[in-house]
C-alpha cells in the first residue's frame, strides 16, 4: 500500500507483533547485554549521527573511509587498506528508530558489535584483516526510488513531521511497522551502508581474486518492504536497493540473492518478480509470516524461473539446510552465472529465536557463511555482501553473526561453546525431502 493512504496509530498491532509479545519472555533475559549494549550504543550513535547529516543529499561521493584498528588515520581511502582484508563491515544501528518492547529493537546491532569485540573479531584485534567502513554516505532518495515508488519515499519523509509530534506512529496500517522522527533518516543510512559495501567489495575485486566479504550490520531490516510501502518491521528494501545499485553503477547485470531469513522476503520477491537478471532464492518456514513464498511463485513474464521459493517444514534444521544448499542453492547459482551474490541474512531461524520454529544453530549459520563465500569465489570473483535482516534473540543473533565472521576469516567455528544439542528435536526429514524434490521438479534441477 502507499504510505500516504495509511491511517496512523500510536499503538502497535498485527499478527507478527502479537506473536513477538507472546514470546518476549524467551529473550528479554539479557541483562548482561544491557549494560554492554549501552556502552557500545554510545560509541556508534555518534557515528550514526555524523552519517545522518548528509542523508538527504542526492549526490553520492566516491570516497570511502574505514577503520582498521591500527592507530592510523581512519580517513585514508579504502583502496589503500583493503588488500589484506578478509571482512569489511558497516554499522548502522538506527538508535533513534525504536519502540519499547518491540522485538526489532535498537539493542540488536549493538549486541552484535559487542560480540565481535568479546570474541576479538573487530579491527581493534584483527588490524587489516577486518575493516569497519566508516563515514559512508546515506542512500539518496533516487537510490531508494530504484526499488520503491516515489510516492512512498516522499510520503514517509513527510510523515516525520507527524512522528515528531506523536513520538511513535504506525506506517503499515494495522501492521507492526512503526516510525519515529528518526526513521526516514536512519533508513537512508542503513541503505547507504549496503551501497557503500558494494562499492568497496567491487573495487577490491578488480585488483584481487579474493576480495573481502561485506556485511551490513544495519537496521531497520528490509526484505519485507514492498515497492509501495513498509511491511513486517521493514522500511526500505536494503538488499533490493543494493542490487539495483550494483547493476546501475557497476555494470553487474546478473545478481543472485539468497534469503535465509525464517520469514519469506516478500518485498524482494515482488521487486524482481518479472526481472530475468535478478535471481531471488528464499528458504523460509512454511506457514510463517507473511504467508507468501509458495512453491509456485517462480517469477512472471521475462522473470519466470528466476524466483525460487522453498518453504521448509517447522523443525527443519542444520541437516535440512545443508541438503538445501547442496541440492538447490549451488545448482541454481551455477546455472544462473551471477556477477555478484547478495545475502539477506536473517538469524531468526535459530532454534532459540522467539518468532518462529525452525532449528538452525550457530553452527548452521557458520556453514552458510562459509559455503556462500566459497560459492561467490567460484562463480563471481568473490563479490559477496551480506545484509542483516531478522534475528530477535540477542544472544543467538550476536553469537551467530560472530561465527559467520569466523567463517569468512577461515577460522574454526566456536558454535559448540554456545549451541546446546540437547534442546534439538528430530528434524522432519521426510517432509524436507518432499519439499526439496518438489522444488527440483518445478525448476528442473
Residues 113 and 91 sit within 8 Å (Cβ to Cβ): yes
DSSP 236-263: S-HHHHHHHHHHHHH----EEEEE-SSS
Active-site residue, 250 included: no
From 148, 224, 250, 350, the catalytic residue? 224
Question: Sign (positive/negative) of CA torsion 122, 93, 267, 355?
Answer: positive
Instruction: Please give the backbone phi and psi of residue 344, each rounded to the nearest 5 degrees, phi first.
Output: -85, 100
The closest alpha carbon to 110, from 206, 28, 35, belongs to 35
Detail the DSSP E strand segments found in 115-194. Answer: 130-134, 169-170, 178-179
**Sequence-ordered list of residues with C-beta below 8 angstroms from that of 401, at least 6 positions apart, any chain:** 112, 115, 116, 215, 217, 345, 347, 365, 388, 391
Do the bridges between strand 307-312 and strand 178-179 make them parallel or antiparallel, or are there none, so unpaired?
unpaired
Residue 228's alpha-carbon distances to 103, 234, 236, in angstroms, are: 24, 12, 10
Burial classification of residue 414, based on how many CB atoms lie within 10 Å of its CB (0-12 exposed, 13-18 middle, 19 or more buried)? middle
User: Which positions are catalytic?
Assistant: 224
Amino acid at each position: 500500500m502507499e504510505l500516504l493512504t495509511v491511517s496512523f496509530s500510536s499503538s502497535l498491532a498485527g499478527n507478527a507483533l502479537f506473536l513477538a509479545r507472546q514470546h518476549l519472555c524467551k529473550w528479554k533475559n539479557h541483562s548482561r547485554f544491557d549494560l554492554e549494549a549501552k556502552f557500545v550504543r554510545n560509541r556508534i550513535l555518534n557515528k550514526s549521527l555524523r552519517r545522518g547529516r548528509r542523508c538527504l543529499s542526492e549526490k553520492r561521493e566516491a570516497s570511502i573511509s574505514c577503520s582498521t584498528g591500527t592507530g592510523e588515520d581512519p580517513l585514508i581511502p579504502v583502496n589503500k587498506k583493503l588488500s589484506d582484508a578478509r571482512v569489511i563491515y558497516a554499522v548502522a544501528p538506527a538508535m533513534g528508530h525504536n519502540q519499547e518492547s518491540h522485538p526489532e529493537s535498537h539493542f540488536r546491532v549493538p549486541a552484535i558489535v559487542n560480540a565481535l569485540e568479546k570474541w576479538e573479531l573487530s579491527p581493534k584485534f584483527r588490524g587489516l584483516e577486518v575493516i569497519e567502513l566508516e563515514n559512508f554516505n546515506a542512500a539518496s532518495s533516487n537510490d531508494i526510488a530504484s526499488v520503491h515508488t516515489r510516492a512512498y519515499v516522499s510520503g514517509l519523509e513527510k510523515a516525520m513531521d507527524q512522528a515528531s509530534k506523536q513520538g511513535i506512529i504506525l506506517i503499515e496500517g494495522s501492521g507492526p511497522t512503526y516510525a519515529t522522527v528518526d526513521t526516514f533518516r536512519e533508513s537512508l543510512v542503513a541503505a547507504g551502508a549496503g551501497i557503500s559495501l558494494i562499492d568497496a567489495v567491487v573495487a577490491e575485486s578488480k585488483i584481487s581474486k579474493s576480495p573481502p566479504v561485506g556485511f551490513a550490520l544495519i537496521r531497520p531490516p528490509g526484505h519485507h518492504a514492498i515497492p509501495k510501502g513498509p511491511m513486517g518491521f521493514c522500511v526500505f528494501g536494503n538488499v533490493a536497493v543494493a542490487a539495483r545499485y550494483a547493476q546501475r553503477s557497476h555494470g553487474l547485470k546478473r545478481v543472485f540473492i539468497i534469503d535465509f531469513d525464517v520469514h519469506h522476503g516478500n518485498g524482494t520477491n515482488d521487486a524482481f518478480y518479472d526481472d530475468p537478471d535478478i535471481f531471488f532464492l528464499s528458504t523460509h518456514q512454511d506457514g510463517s509470516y507473511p504467508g507468501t513464498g509458495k512453491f509456485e511463485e517462480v517469477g512472471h513474464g521475462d522473470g519466470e524461473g528466476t524466483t525460487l521459493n522453498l518453504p521448509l517444514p517447522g523443525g527443519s534444521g542444520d541437516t535440512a539446510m545443508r541438503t538445501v544448499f547442496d541440492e538447490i542453492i549451488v545448482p541454481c547459482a551455477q546455472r544462473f552465472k551471477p556477477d555478484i551474490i547478495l545475502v539477506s541474512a536473517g538469524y531468526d531461524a535459530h532454534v532459540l529465536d522467539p518468532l518462529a520454529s525452525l532449528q538452525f544453530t550457530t553452527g548452521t549459520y557458520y556453514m552458510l557463511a562459509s559455503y556462500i563465500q566459497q560459492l561467490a569465489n567460484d562463480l563471481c570473483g568473490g563479490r559477496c555482501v551480506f545484509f542483516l535482516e531478522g534475528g530477535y534473540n540477542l544472544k543467538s543473533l550476536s553469537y551467530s553473526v560472530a561465527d559467520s565472521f569466523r567463517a569468512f576469516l577461515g577460522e574454526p567455528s566456536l558454535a559448540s561453546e554456545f549451541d546446546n544439542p540437547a534442546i534439538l528435536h528430530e528434524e522432519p526429514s521426510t517432509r524436507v525431502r518432499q519439499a526439496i524434490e518438489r522444488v527440483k521438479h518445478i525448476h528442473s534441477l
